[in-house]
Amino acid sequence: MKHILITGSTDGIGKLLALRLAKEGHYIAIHGRSESKLTLTLKEIKEQANTDNVIGFLADFSDLNDVKKMASEVILKMPKIDVLVNNAGVLISNGKSTTTDIRLLVNYFAPYVLTNGLLANLKASDAPRIVNLSSAAQSTVNIQALEGKTSLGANEAYAQSKLALTMWSFYLAVQEPSITVVAVNPGSLLNTKMAKEAYGQHWSPADKGVDILYDLSMTDLAKTGKYFDNDKGTYASAHSDAYDTNKIEKLIEVTISNLV
């Protein structure tokens, strides 16, 4: 039995992955930002998987204080984490206005804060693994936008947040050699709520994303410090900035200063 935490798992591929893993008998922690939806999803997964080994965490990832609070709760309730799947993400949002773009907060800063808060719990595992949900959409990070000094359009902010997450994934893989850290584009325009809200269409079934997340979480497919592109069905090159050590160092430096 593995202990697995999946963020953004009250719908979409996160929920489907949680259900699949729960049915296999693993200890699953799901996360959502709506209390009613989290409660309902917990009930559904427990009933469908016929297990009580499912717990839930409530946090709004656009509020980093909420993320820190969740990390504190996870530390207590999950002393060991074998797999952390940073799946929570947002493209179109009606969320509250903040100085930093909500996509940068939810898609990059939140997983950064959560993961760094849980490193000790991950290291309690014999073979810890982090799977970060990137995207085929990756665009050079505007440092001023990261600092909340300039605004971006939704698609541009999303693409920048996903490149930032990928750059940090590569950095973390070097900093924490005992942890397998892999970034993945689960597939473009999967049949999920996020794709429907943003584009009103989808190209591939949600199962395509669930399958690759399962394989990277549970099999020897995962390679640390790499980017898996599920549109191509193989490991591939991410945006060139993800291999630029100067840009990565600047990203981490600004990230840390923003969180102080």
Q: What is the pLDDT along the chain (260 residues), one digit of tens a residue?
A: 999 999 999 989 999 999 999 999 999 999 999 999 999 999 999 999 999 999 999 999 999 999 999 999 999 999 999 999 999 998 876 655 567 899 999 999 999 999 999 999 999 999 999 999 999 999 999 999 999 999 999 999 999 999 999 999 999 999 999 999 999 999 865 545 554 454 444 445 668 889 999 999 999 999 999 999 999 999 999 999 999 999 999 999 999 999 98
User: 152-187: per-residue pLDDT in tens?
Assistant: 999 999 999 999 999 999 999 999 999 999 999 998
Cβ–Cβ < 8 Å for 166, 130: no
Closest CA to 90 of 193, 212, 209: 193
Look at residues 73, 116, 139 and name the one whose alpha carbon lies nearest to residue 255.
116
Backbone φ and ψ for 227, nearest 5 degrees, come out as -120, 120
How far is the CA of 220 from the CAs of 1, 47, 157, 209, 215, in angstroms?
17, 30, 33, 17, 8
Rounded Cα–Cα distance for residues 205 and 126 (Å): 33
What count of other Cβ atoms lies within 10 Å of the Cβ of residue 244?
Answer: 14
In the chain, the domains with their CATH numbers are: 3-259 (3.40.50.720)
Give me the pLDDT at residue 208, please. 80
> CA–CA separation, 209 vs 186, rounded Å?
5
Alpha helical stretches, state H, the chain: 12-23, 35-49, 64-77, 102-104, 110-117, 119-123, 143-146, 154-175, 193-199, 206-218, 245-259
| φ/ψ bin of 89: left (φ > 0), alpha (ψ from -120 to 50), beta (otherwise) | beta
pLDDT of residue 91: 86
Task: Give CA–CA dist 72/240, Å, rounded.
Answer: 35
Q: What is the pLDDT of residue 187?
A: 81
Residue 71: helix, strand or coil by DSSP?
helix
Tokens of 241: 């900035």
